[in-house]
């Protein structure tokens, strides 16, 4: 579904991503793990069209998407939940969700989409008219995921969904991710907290200083002795 | 490279010599008048560009110019104070205002277009003050005022022969260019360049950027007011539209942009072009058509900002200095990385 | 009584001012551009009404509507020719390019119409309510201003484009990944801003005669209101407009009008330096 080959990207003359190749199959959940500064967020930014790669290719459903504008990429069915949610702070929950269904492909399904995400996150019905900036971190994260789902994506990308949240809330966020996965979405997730992410993922990529250091199935990841030592603390 | 430098120096010396003997060779009073205007505006624009080089676009220099004009005129007309003294007083008033406004702005981080707006407000205030003082200080309000004539009197900076103003204005321009060079070579300026104008980094090198910028602003304001004094002694007439306010401020900035606000000669080249453009339309189309020259002028500004944001001279000299620019770019990229790294 | 009278008229005039400031505020909030030629757009609107109504005898209301549409078009043109190519340039370049637009428009009007005052001589009655004298022109401006603002409120809250305009002012990057093409939103914003300048001009028709240097003062007035309310803060600008309306009205009744203006400008300077988020703004929204 999503195929990234030999991707290089960075800011100015400095490379953050070096020769990264990643694949996400239909219905799969892929987790990209790695320490802070490894280039995980940059990867999602490049896919979403917020940053132009310096070389390499990105294909989505056999169409080349690198170099396209963010709004074109949403239209094709890729949606990003940015780190911390990044809701529009002065808009209500409802207006934020409206923005989620902005693209022409899904605008007419607004009501259906709203029902669908409300079945996942009941909170959005209760807080419909609340200004997003006044919500708690966990609530914001949920609304942000709901907003991304409003664009009826085929691929949902999550940038550190657990960042800055209390452990209990992190657990429930990952429950939601599981539920989303079960509903048939493909998910590409970037995470720093390894254990939780590994639980929901089918495939794991390990990114270190902009390079893919490991990729494989969840089982292989868990069995790898080097990874066991440095990431799982076993 | 050294040969080019020598050639350049030779041409400049030749031009300077030509300008010095010019009034003795050619008797045209009209050309002399135009040259004086070019010198005065080049001077004011160069002095303005002391700030522009920091990316500080002041839209308040019209106010400083007006302070120079009106302080001198009022002190002379009402109290018979010599314009030589008036020039100094006006300069100090302008510098004082620049210190208060500049320190406030730089201290609180009012830069970029916010600084432009703050100084724009100052320009508007200057116009209003002159109008409000039409009776109290006999500024004449919108109708303007005339300097009392005393014939030729060096003590009162009045000369029937324009040649004196010619050399005075030329001397001022040379002074302004000299100071530009000095600022450019100053230690603080070098250090600011080295850190890419990053204020915190500059502070770590022991340069108080707020103080430095305020000082440059004050110097620039002082010299601009001096320019105002010379201008009004030359024209003997002042009104708020030509001698102060937003329009004049924009005029100064535009001249700098057209020539190039980051280079030594840019402001002079810009002033030269604009004064000639205005005179040309006035001469060949009649003064009723001055508005046409201003339309062209406005369009020129828009086109230049779009295609040559460094100005005419700035763009030309950049082609010769391509290497330096690339270095600056790497520096910028480094800073961006530091900000964006995830 | 004199003061109360000028307060009432000031509040009424504040309605038009709110409309005027809203346009500039919108363009600042959304496109991050300081529209230095905004007053000149109002001026062009007034000249258009004059040309249509006086020179071509078009009915006044129709003239006003046509002028509004024309100013909106002019604003779109300015977006394409001046603003769009400079979207990635430093803000100061955008500001100066718009100063170039100011210069072009002002001198074009000077060349076309000369330096004299031109106006549509509309004589509107002064209404007598109790002991108050209310200029009907102020009342019309107030009503038109509020109706337009109410429509804008609905537009910005209920339509996709309107919500996108608000969203982009808050987080341009994220607005892109919502599927919004920012260029389209900027274009709509300039069209709306231009239309607001046009409607403001229409409200000014019974109040002012126009001359080529008419615009500068209103650009500045719009600035002051926007700065008072906090740049980009639409509600703040709305309240600021009424404050300025009353202050201007009262100070010109009691004081020399220039002194009133100077005081307002000095306060404005202080606000820029000390509270750039505006008197009514919240820091780091």
User: How far does chain C reach from its first CA to its final CA, in angstroms?
Assistant: 41
For C174, which residue in chain A has the nearest alpha carbon?
A86
Q: Which token pair is C267?
A: 């306060």
Contact A79 C160 (CB under 8 A): no
Interface A-C, measured as beta-carbon pairs within 8 A, has a size of 69
Confidence of residue A223 (pLDDT cuts 50, 70, 90): confident
DSSP letter for B96, please: H
Go through B161-181 and write b for each residue having 16 or more CB atoms within 10 A of its CB, e for each that does not. Answer: eeebbbebbbebbeebbebbe
What is the pLDDT at residue B200?
66
Q: Which residue has the tokens 């520096």?
A: B331
Work out the burial of residue A233: count CB atoms within 10 Å of its CB; fewer than 13 is exposed, 13-18 middle, 19 or more buried: exposed
Neighbouring chains to B with at least 3 Cβ pairs closer than 8 Å: A, C
- Nearest to A189, CA basis, from A40, A86, A51: A40
Go through B9-40 and write b for each residue having 16 or more CB atoms within 10 A of its CB, e for each that does not. Answer: eeeeeeeeeebeebbeeeeeeeebbbbbbbbb
Interface test with A, best of C88, C163, C164, C178 (most A CBs within 10 A): C178
Q: Are residues A71 and A162 in the same domain?
A: yes
Query: What ipTM does this complex have?
Result: 0.89
Residue B185 in domain:
yes
Residue B2 in domain:
no
| Helix (H) or strand (E) run with residue C191 in it | helix C182-204
Ramachandran region of residue A27, left (φ > 0), alpha (ψ -120 to 50) or beta?
left
What is the pLDDT at residue B330?
45
Q: Answer whether residue B312 shows pLDDT above 80.
A: no
Number of compact structural domains in chain A:
2
CATH number reported for the structural domain that contains residue B115 in this entry: 1.10.3470
Between the alpha carbon of residue A206 and those of residues A58, A155, C42, the distances in Å are 19, 20, 59
Answer whether A70 touches C (CB < 8 Å). yes
Q: Are residues A13 and A115 in the same domain?
A: no
- Nearest to B59, CA basis, from B201, B207, B245, B280: B245
Residue B23 in domain:
no
| Average pLDDT in chain C | 88
Interface test with C, best of A41, A44, A90, A110 (most C CBs within 10 A): A90
Residue B21 in domain:
no
What is the pLDDT at residue B42?
96
DSSP letter for B244, please: S
Work out the burial of residue A62: count CB atoms within 10 Å of its CB; fewer than 13 is exposed, 13-18 middle, 19 or more buried: exposed
Contact B342 A36 (CB under 8 A): yes
Interface list for C 184-213 with A (CB within 8 A): none
Q: Which token pair is B99?
A: 């210190």
| Mean pLDDT within C143-158 | 93
- A103, A121, A152 - which closes a domain: A152
pLDDT digits (tens, 9 = 90+) for A111-125: 999 999 999 999 888
For C33, which residue in chain B has the nearest alpha carbon?
B113
For C200-214, what is the HEC assignment? Answer: HHHHHCCCCCECCCH
Contact B113 C92 (CB under 8 A): yes
How many Å lie between the alpha carbon of C177 and the closest alpha carbon of chain A? 5
- The rounded distance, in Å, linking the Cα atoms of C4 and C84 is 46
CB A97 within 8 A of CB A130: no
CATH number reported for the structural domain that contains residue A56 in this entry: 3.40.50.300
List the domain boundaries for chain C.
Answer: 2-213
Range of the domain at A143: 87-152
Contact C86 B254 (CB under 8 A): no
Residues of C in contact with B114 (CB under 8 A): 272, 276
Residue A82 in domain:
no
Answer whether B328 touches A (CB < 8 Å). no
Q: Are residues A62 and A171 in the same domain?
A: yes
Ramachandran region of residue B156, left (φ > 0), alpha (ψ -120 to 50) or beta?
alpha
Residue B12 in domain:
no
For B304, which residue in chain C has the nearest alpha carbon?
C97
Confidence of residue B186 (pLDDT cuts 50, 70, 90): confident
Q: Nearest by CB to C179, which of A71, A82, A88?
A: A71
- The rounded distance, in Å, linking the Cα atoms of C170 and A90 is 8
What is the pLDDT at residue A233?
65
- Nearest to B90, CA basis, from B74, B102, B104, B105: B74
| Mean pLDDT within B310-327 | 63
Whether the CA torsion C75, C76, C80, C86 is positive or negative: it is: positive
Answer whether B295 touches C (CB < 8 Å). yes
How many Å lie between the alpha carbon of C107 and the closest alpha carbon of chain B? 5
Contact A11 B332 (CB under 8 A): no
What is the pLDDT at residue A152?
93
Residues of A in contact with C163 (CB under 8 A): 91, 95, 98-99
Residues of C in contact with B305 (CB under 8 A): 86, 89, 93, 96-97, 100
- The rounded distance, in Å, linking the Cα atoms of C43 and A13 is 48
CB B156 within 8 A of CB B75: no
Q: Are residues A17 and A66 in the same domain?
A: yes
> What is the DSSP pairing of strand A186-191 with strand A14-24?
unpaired
Number of compact structural domains in chain B:
1
Confidence of residue B194 (pLDDT cuts 50, 70, 90): low
Residue B136 in domain:
yes
CA angle in degrees (0–180, nearest 5) for C93-C98-C103: 125
How many residues are there in chain C?
A: 285
For C269, which residue in chain B has the nearest alpha carbon?
B118
């Amino acid at each position: 579904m999503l195929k990234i080959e030999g991707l290089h990207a960075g800011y100015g003359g400095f490379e953050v991503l070096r020769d990264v190749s990643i694949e996400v199959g239909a219905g799969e959940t892929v987790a990209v793990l790695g320490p802070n500064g490894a280039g995980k967020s940059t990867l999602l930014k490049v896919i979403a069209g917020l940053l132009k790669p310096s070389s390499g290719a990105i294909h989505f459903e056999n169409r080349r998407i690198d170099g396209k504008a963010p709004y074109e990429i949403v239209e094709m069915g890729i949606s990003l939940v940015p780190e911390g949610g990044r809701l529009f702070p002065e808009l209500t929950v409802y207006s934020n969700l409206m923005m989620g269904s902005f693209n022409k492909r899904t605008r007419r399904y607004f009501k259906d989409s709203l029902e669908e995400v409300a079945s996942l996150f009941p909170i959005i019905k209760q807080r419909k008219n609340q200004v997003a900036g006044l919500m708690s971190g966990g609530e914001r994260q949920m609304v942000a995921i709901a907003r991304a789902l409003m664009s009826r994506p085929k691929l949902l990308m999550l940038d550190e969904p657990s960042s800055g949240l209390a452990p209990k809330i992190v657990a429930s966020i990952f429950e939601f991710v599981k539920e989303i996965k079960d509903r048939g979405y493909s998910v590409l997730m970037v995470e720093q907290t390894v254990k939780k992410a590994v639980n929901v993922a089918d495939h794991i990529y390990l990114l270190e200083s902009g390079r893919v250091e490991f990729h494989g199935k969840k089982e292989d990841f868990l069995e790898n002795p080097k990874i066991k030592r440095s990431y799982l603390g076993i | 490279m050294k040969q080019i430098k020598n050639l350049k120096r030779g041409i400049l010396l030749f031009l300077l010599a030509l300008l010095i003997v010019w009034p003795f060779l050619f008797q045209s009073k009209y050309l002399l008048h135009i040259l004086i205007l070019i010198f005065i505006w080049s001077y004011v624009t160069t002095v303005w560009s002391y700030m522009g080089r920091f990316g500080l676009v002041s839209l308040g220099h019209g106010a400083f110019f007006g302070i120079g004009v009106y302080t001198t005129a009022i002190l002379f007309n009402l109290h018979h104070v010599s314009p030589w003294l008036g020039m100094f007083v006006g300069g100090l008033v302008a510098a004082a205002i620049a210190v208060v406004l500049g320190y406030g702005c730089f201290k609180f981080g009012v830069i970029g277009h916010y600084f432009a707006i703050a100084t724009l407000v100052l320009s508007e205030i200057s116009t209003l003050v002159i109008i409000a003082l039409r009776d109290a200080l006999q500024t004449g309000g919108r109708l303007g005022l005339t300097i009392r004539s005393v014939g030729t009197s060096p003590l009162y900076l009045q000369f029937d022969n324009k040649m004196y103003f010619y050399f005075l204005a030329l001397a001022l321009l040379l002074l302004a260019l000299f100071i530009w060079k000095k600022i450019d070579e100053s230690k603080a300026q070098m250090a600011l360049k080295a850190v890419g104008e990053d204020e915190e980094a500059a502070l770590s090198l022991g340069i108080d950027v707020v103080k430095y910028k305020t000082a440059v602003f004050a110097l620039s304001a002082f010299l601009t007011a001096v320019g105002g004094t010379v201008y009004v002694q030359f024209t003997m007439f002042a009104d708020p539209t030509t001698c102060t306010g937003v329009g004049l401020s924009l005029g100064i900035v535009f001249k700098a942009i057209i020539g190039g606000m980051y280079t030594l000669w840019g402001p002079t080249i810009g002033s030269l072009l604009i004064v000639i453009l205005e005179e040309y339309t006035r001469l060949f189309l009649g003064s009723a058509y001055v508005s046409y020259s201003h339309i062209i002028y406005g369009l020129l500004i828009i086109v230049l900002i779009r295609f040559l944001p460094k100005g005419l001279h700035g763009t030309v000299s950049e082609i010769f200095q391509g290497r330096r620019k690339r270095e600056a770019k790497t520096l910028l990229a480094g800073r961006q990385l530091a900000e964006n790294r995830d | 009584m004199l003061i109360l009278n000028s307060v009432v008229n000031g509040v009424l005039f504040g309605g038009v001012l709110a409309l005027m400031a809203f346009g500039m505020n919108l363009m600042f909030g959304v496109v991050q551009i300081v529209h230095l030629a905004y007053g000149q757009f109002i001026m062009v609107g007034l000249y258009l009404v004059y040309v249509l109504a006086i020179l071509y005898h078009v009915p006044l209301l129709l003239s006003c509507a046509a002028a509004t549409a024309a100013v909106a078009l002019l604003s779109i043109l300015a977006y394409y020719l001046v603003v769009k190519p400079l979207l990635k340039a430093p803000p100061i370049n955008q500001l100066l390019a718009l100063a170039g637009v100011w210069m072009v428009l002002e001198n074009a009007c000077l060349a076309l119409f000369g330096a004299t005052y031109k106006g549509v001589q509309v004589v509107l009655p002064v209404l007598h309510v109790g002991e108050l004298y209310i200029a009907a022109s102020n009342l019309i401006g107030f009503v038109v201003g509020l109706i337009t603002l109410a429509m804008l409120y609905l537009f910005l809250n209920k339509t996709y484009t309107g919500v996108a305009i608000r969203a982009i002012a808050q987080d341009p990057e994220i607005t892109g990944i919502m599927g919004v093409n920012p260029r389209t939103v900027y274009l709509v914003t300039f069209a709306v801003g231009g239309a607001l300048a046009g409607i403001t001009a229409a409200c000014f028709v019974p109040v002012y005669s126009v001359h080529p240097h008419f615009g500068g003062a209103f650009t500045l007035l719009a600035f002051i209101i926007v700065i008072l309310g906090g740049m980009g803060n639409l509600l703040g600008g709305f309240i600021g407009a009424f404050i300025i309306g009353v202050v201007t009205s009262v100070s010109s009744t009691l004081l020399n009008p220039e002194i009133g203006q100077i005081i307002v400008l000095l306060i404005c300077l202080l606000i820029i330096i000390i509270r750039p988020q505006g008197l009514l703004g919240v820091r780091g929204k």
